[in-house]
Structure 1
C-alpha cells in the first residue's frame, strides 16, 4: 500500500497529471484527487492499481525503513548503461604513490 503523499509525490516525480494517471490506471480522476488530498480513501485494490501504474511510469516506492516512507525514480536500462560507462571514464583505479 502507498500513502496519499507517496501517490502525489510519485506523480510529480514521473511528471504525469491526474488525468493521465486516471487514463492509464482506469481509476476515476476524482478518486485520485480525493485520495491525494486525503478527502477520502479508496479501497486497497484501487490503491494497489495506482501503485502499479505509477511503478510502470518509473516510480519506486520505499517502505518504512527507519528513515520514513518515500518514493524515488528508478533508472532505466539505458541510464544504468550510461552510469556504468561514466564510472569507468577515469581509468583504472589504483593506489596513489604519493609519499
Structure 2
C-alpha cells in the first residue's frame, strides 16, 4: 500500500500537479486530493489507478525498509 506522502513525492519528482495525476489515472481531481489527504474511505481501485499512472511515468515505490517508505525515479533509457 502506498502512502499519501509517497504520492505527493512522486508527483513532485515528475513535476505533476494533482490535475496531471488525475488525468493520467483516469480519476477526478477530487479523488486525488482525497487520497493525498489520507481519506480512509479511498477505494483500493483508486489507489491502484494512481499507483499505475505514476509507475507508468517512471516512479518506483520503495516499501518500508526500516527507514520508512519512499519513491525514486527510474533511470531514463537513452
Q: How many residues align?
A: 77
List alignment gaps of at least 5 residues for structure 1.
79-99
**Matching of residue 32 in structure 1 with residue 37 in structure 2:** no
Name the SS of the counterpart of 1:10 in structure 2: helix
Q: CA RMSD in A?
A: 1.0
- Structure with higher Rg: it is 1
Counterpart position of 2:2: 2
Relative to the length of structure 2, the TM-score reads 0.90
TM-score by length of 1: 0.72
Higher relative contact order (CA 8 A, sep 6+): 2
1:26-76, CA deviations, whole angstroms, 9 ceiling, x for partnerless residues?
1110011121122x2311111011011001111110001122100111101
